[in-house]
A and B are shown apart, each in its own frame.
Chain A
Amino acid sequence: MVIDVTQTTAGQLKTLGRFRQINDTFPRTEQIREHKNQGKKVFGWLCTYVPEEIIHAAGILPVRVTGYSQEMELEDGNAYLYINNCSFSRSCLQMGLRGEYEFLDGMVAGSTCDGARRLFDLWQHYIKTPFYHILTVPRKYTEKAHGLYYQQVVQFKEHLEEFLSQKIADEQLRHSIEVYNQARVLLKQLYELRKADTPPISGAETMEVLNTSFHMPKETFNQWLKELLDELGKSSNRHQGRARLMVVGSVMNNPEFIKSIEAQRGLVVTDELCTSTRYWSDPVVLAEGQSPVKAISRRYLSNFPCARMVPSDERFRRILNLVKEFKVDGVVSQIIRYCVPYAHDLPLLRDRLKDIGVPMLALDVEYGTSGSGQIQTRVQAFLEMLEARKR
Chain B
Amino acid sequence: MKVPDTKGNKINAIIRACRIITRMNQANPDTPKSEALYYQMLSSYYTRLRNAHDEGGFIAAHTVFFPSEILYAMDIVPMHTEMTTWMMALFLGEQAEILSAGAELGLVPEICSPHRGLAGAFALGALPRPDAMLWSNLICDNTAKSGELIMELTKCPGFFLDHPFQRSEAEDKYLVSELEDMIDFLEEKSGQKMDWDKLSEIVQKMDHQMELLREIGELRKAVPSPFPNRGFLQLLTVDYLCPGQPEAIAYLETLRDELAEKVREGKGAVSPERFRLMTLFVPPMYLMGFLEKIGQEYGAVSVVEPLFTRWAEGKLDPSRPLESVARKTAMIPERRSMYGPLSQEVLQDLIDCAEQYKVDGAVYWAFMGCRHTCATVKLFKDLLNEVDVPVMTIDCDIVDPTINSEAEIREKMEQFFEMLEDR
Contact = CB atoms under 8 A, between A and B. Distances in A.
Interface of A: 79-82, 84-86, 111, 113-115, 117-122, 124-125, 134, 136-140, 144-145, 147-148, 151, 307-308, 310-312, 335, 337-341, 343-348, 350-351, 362, 364
B374 A121 contact: no
B162 A344 contact: no
B146 A122 contact: no
7 contacts: A118-B371, A138-B164, A138-B174, A343-B108, A344-B145, A345-B145, A364-B110
A337 B371 CA distance: 11
B342 A121 contact: yes
B391 to A, nearest CB: 13
Contact of A344 (B1, B142, B371, B378): B142
B317 interface: no
Nearest to B163: A139
Nearest to B372: A114
A335 B141 CA distance: 15
Contacts of A346: 106-108
B377 A148 contact: no
A139 B137 contact: yes
For chain B, the bracket of interface size reads 35 or more
A298 B177 CA distance: 19
Dominant secondary structure of chain A at its interface with chain B: helix
Contact of A136 (B107, B160, B171, B372): B171
Nearest to A86: B371
B353 to A, nearest CB: 19
Given A121-B379, A343-B108, A344-B148, 10 more contacts: A86-B371, A118-B376, A119-B375, A134-B166, A137-B165, A139-B160, A145-B174, A148-B164, A308-B144, A344-B145
Contacts, number: 139
Contact of B144 (A81, A121, A341): A341
B349 interface: no
Given A139-B162, A310-B148, A310-B162, A344 B111 contact: yes
B223 interface: no
Given A113-B141, A340-B141, A136 B371 contact: no
A118 B379 CA distance: 11
Given A341-B141, A343-B107, A343-B108, A85 B177 contact: no
Given A140-B160, A340-B141, A343-B111, A134 B341 contact: yes
A111 B105 CA distance: 28
A98 B15 CA distance: 55
B115 to A, nearest CB: 8
Given A138-B162, A351-B1, A85 B375 contact: yes
A171 to B, nearest CB: 27
A340 B149 contact: no
Nearest to B375: A118
Interface in B322-379: 341-342, 366, 368-372, 374-379
Given A113-B141, A121-B375, A344 B146 contact: yes
The 6 closest A-B pairs by CB, nearest first: A344-B145, A111-B165, A118-B375, A347-B106, A82-B374, A114-B372
Contacts of A139: 137, 144, 160, 162
A82 B364 CA distance: 12
Nearest to A119: B375
A345 B137 CA distance: 15
A340 B162 contact: no
A138 B164 CA distance: 7
B297 interface: no
Nearest to A313: B148
B378 A82 contact: yes
Contact of A343 (B1, B110, B372, B378): B110
B148 A118 contact: no
Contact of B164 (A136, A335, A341): A136
B148 A348 contact: yes
Contacts of A343: 107-108, 110-111
Contact of B371 (A80, A115, A151): A115
A82 B1 contact: no
